[in-house]
Amino acid sequence: MRSKVNIKSHPLHPMLVAFPIALWTASLICDLLGLALKKPELWSAGFYAVIGGCIGAVFAAVPGAIDWKTVVPPNSSAKSRGLIHGSVNTVVLILFIIEAVRRGDAGTTPDRVSLLLSVVGVAMLGYSGWLGGTLVYRNQIGVDHRYANSGSWKERTLDDWSRPVCNVGELAQGQMMLAVIKGERVAIGKCPEGIVAFSDHCTHKGGPLSDGVLIGWAVQCPWHGSQFDVHTGRVISGPAQKQIKTYAARVENGEVYVSPLFEVERKKA
Ligand code: FES
C-alpha cells in the first residue's frame, strides 16, 4: 500500500533508515579498528558516527511511525510486525544514546561496556532490519500499486455511508480502491457484473484486499494468495478459512454508494 510520506511515490522511511544503519555499524567497526590499531582518530570517528546514527534514527522514525499508523492495515500480522520493528529500533536508539552519554566526548577510549552496547545494538538492528524487509517485500507496505490504463492508487475517507465513495468512471475493469467509511475499511472494485464492495480485511492475517488483484468476480489477497468471491464473500481458495464481509454497492447518477448489508435489509423490511 502506498506510503503516506513519500517523494513522488518513493517512501521516505526506507531512504532515511540507511543513515542509522550505516553510521551505527561504522561506529562499531571504527571502535574495533581503533582499539586494534591503537589509533585514537578511529574511535573518535566512531563516537561521531554514534551521534550521527542517533540523529538519523530520530528522522527515520517519524515517517515510519506515520506509515505504521496510517498505511499498515489494522488487526493484521503486519501491524504487530511493525510494532515489534519500531519497539526494537527504539531500544537500539536508547542503547546508542547511553553509549554516547557514557563516552562523553570523541577523545574517550571506548571501554568494554561501550563495545558491548554497540555489538548488541547492531545485532538488534539486524533483526529489526529483517522485520522491515518482511514488511516491504512480503507485506508490500510502501509499494505503490498501479493499474493498467487507470492510473494510480485511490483512497477515500468518508464520515457517512450516505455519501458517494467515487464516480463510477474512476474505476477501470479490475481496478479497486479503498474507502474508509466511518472507520470501516471497504474495498470497492469494478468486475464484469459491475461495482462490488467488500471488506478490505483478509480473514487469514489481515492483508489489504484492495491492494490485491481482482479477476472476474474473485479477489486475491496480496499477502498469501487467499481468494474470495466478491459477491458472497465465500473463500474460493485458502489459506483463509473464513469468508469476508460484503456490502451493497449501487450506482446513482454515475456516483457509487455503498451500504452495510444489514442496513439495506432493514430498509427493505
Ligand atoms: S493475509 Fe494471508 S492470505 Fe490474506
The answer to whether 245 and 233 are in contact (CB under 8 A) is: yes
Residue 130 has pLDDT above 80, yes or no: yes
How confident is the model at residue 56, as a pLDDT?
96
User: Could you tell me the pLDDT band of residue 150, with boundaries at 50, 70 and 90?
Assistant: low
pLDDT digits (tens, 9 = 90+) for 94-103: 999 999 999 9
Q: For residue 206, give the ligand 1 atom closest to its CA.
A: 1
How confident is the model at residue 1, as a pLDDT?
81
CATH for 6-137 (3.40.50, 1.10.357, 1.10.287, 1.20.120): 1.20.120
How confident is the model at residue 84, as a pLDDT?
97
How confident is the model at residue 2, as a pLDDT?
83
CA distance linking residue 211 with residue 145, whole number of Å: 7
The answer to whether 127 and 134 are in contact (CB under 8 A) is: no
pTM of the model: 0.85
Determine the CATH number of domain 155-268.
Answer: 2.102.10.10
How confident is the model at residue 242, as a pLDDT?
94
Residue 131 has pLDDT above 70, yes or no: yes
How confident is the model at residue 154, as a pLDDT?
83
Q: Smallest Cα–Cα separation from 24: which of 130, 120, 108, 118?
A: 118
Separation of CA 218 and ligand 1 centre (Å): 14
Given ligand 1 and candidates 221, 227, 242, which is best to mutate, with the most ligand atoms within 8 Å of its CB?
221
- Domain ranges in the chain are 6-137, 155-268
Burial group, residue 105, by CB count within 10 angstroms (0-12, 13-18, 19+): exposed
CB 138 near ligand 1, within 6 Å: no
- 132-136, 147-151, 188-192: range with lowest mean pLDDT: 147-151
How confident is the model at residue 268, as a pLDDT?
54
CB 221 near ligand 1, within 6 Å: yes
CB 226 near ligand 1, within 6 Å: yes
CB 240 near ligand 1, within 6 Å: yes
The reply to whether 6-137 and 155-268 are identical in fold is no
pLDDT digits (tens, 9 = 90+) for 164-193: 998 888 888 889 999 999 889 999 999 888
